[in-house]
Structure 1
Amino acid sequence: MYQLFIANKNYSSWSLRPWVLMTELAIPFEEQMVLFGGASNWDRFRDFAPNGKVPCLKDGDTVVWDSLAIAEYLAERHPGVWPSDASARTWARSAAAEMHSGFTTLRGSCPMCCGIRVRIDEWTPALKHDIARIGELWSDGLNRFGGPFLAGKAFTAVDAFFAPVAFRAQTYGLTFGETADAYVKRLLALPAMKSWYEAALAETWREPAHEDDVKRTGTWLEDRRATA
């Protein structure tokens, strides 16, 4: 059985991608959680991942690191990871790759922290640009392929790659336009997303660097996480 190495569910947006993909597609795996630990992440994560990062997938002696590589590895072995229609599949791969390599301002300004509610203090032009582009991209996919997911009727890898943005929208009150905002609600209502969110709220671990990143974003309105 696959082993999927992830970090804290409250923080780890990259871990969420393969986790929600495999869970929604009912691809069996064993979850291996290794908590963030500041400067020691490299040493501890190197025990299972050559790049010292999460997520990492192990399939017997095969090790697959990086969320996009994991999606492609799974696509070679399981149906439904990408859309079956060639046009939708091309669009989905392009959109997932854009998310994978882009939107750096959104990542830096709005780090994933599932259990917090934050009011953003400074809406920079770069942040507004990232949010506008995501809204444009989502609306394009939903209108082009008919929804309810980005590339058609079924949840696929492209939706998994944007799943962390849905949690960011919830945390920071982000809006992307009527069509895109409805899609956020659909993502958050998925069984796998609800399961991840409940587990994130139950976590009592706090990683100072991640906490500081969120505090720099704006004013904390609420902390819904369990305490030790």
Structure 2
Amino acid sequence: MLGIFSSSVVSPPEELVAAGSRTPSPKTTAGKLLNRFVESKASAVSLQVGEHVQLAYTHHNESPWQPRSFAVKDEIFCLFEGALDNLGSLRQQYGLAKSATEVILVIEAYKALRDRAPYPANRVVCHLSGNFAFIVFDKSTSTLFVASDQYGKVPLYWGITADGYVAFADDADLLKGACGKSLASFPQGCFYSTAVGGLRCYENPKNKITAVPAEEEEIWGATFKVEGSAVLAGTE
């Protein structure tokens, strides 16, 4: 899956900007990144959301235990990869039909978060049990919400393209070609929300997250670490 967002939606994280500046490396534009995804992934589906967002996904080569899915409801777009162990109980909690899938559940959870503001965002993600990564974009408010499960079982990476777009994908090699060293593994057990102003650990949302500069030979430009926690993100 792939999500690409202009700086009008997401301000490029300073840590990734700095990482790319320390070790200059080849990059390409967001448009070329999207084209590469569509051309290299069988049966790829892509769509443009407004002027500033591109989303794409494919079912090709997906794991049967961690499938990819896409849905849109009430101008809320969601790309989801993985599976929730407690989907049944969450359906009941949110009053959903038994046929509701993970991607629909995440949309409804996000809607509840948005409409109950200032309900803590971390509490919504904490209720999700399983292996997952997802990207939610709310067109009505131009809000982005991205999260990875506590153990990082579903790979998720983020980086900055040559023209300053922030991209999220489950394919590190895809982003490496577009983002160079302005690239990192998205930290497990964390969420990124433009509504709350950045990256947070959902078990310990008050803990600071710092970016440790990567070694020169690593493909990453930085490794994100939750202070006071053993959680690290940056290596495969």
Normalization by structure 1: what TM-score? Answer: 0.30
Q: Which structure has the highest helix share of the two? A: 1
Q: Which structure has the highest strand share of the two? A: 2
Could you say which structure has the greater relative contact order, defined with CA pairs below 8 angstroms and 6 or more residues apart? 1
